[in-house]
Amino acid sequence: MGLKWTDVNDIAIELVERFPEQDPLRISFPDLYSRVMELDEFDDDPDHCGEKILEAIQMAWIEEMD
């Protein structure tokens, strides 16, 4: 079973591992959306994502970096 948009913390962990050079504070929401869609483990409807979800993923990513 793949990652869904609601798996915010798991997505953040995958982003840290896949894009270690990326500063999550300096990524736009369209770029963040694209990076999530690129994750091999990600398997959810691309249309089920909104700004609140992307914001939550970004915040979790920042926490994972610390």
- Which pTM was predicted? 0.94
Distance between CA 2 and CA 28 in Å, rounded? 24
Topology of domain 8-65, CATH: Arc Repressor Mutant, subunit A (1.10.10)
Domain ranges within the chain, ordered by starting residue:
8-65
User: Tens digit of pLDDT for each residue in 6-36?
Assistant: 999 999 999 999 999 999 999 999 999 999 9
Which tokens belong to 53? 């979800």
Mean pLDDT score of the chain = 96
Which tokens belong to 38? 């690129």
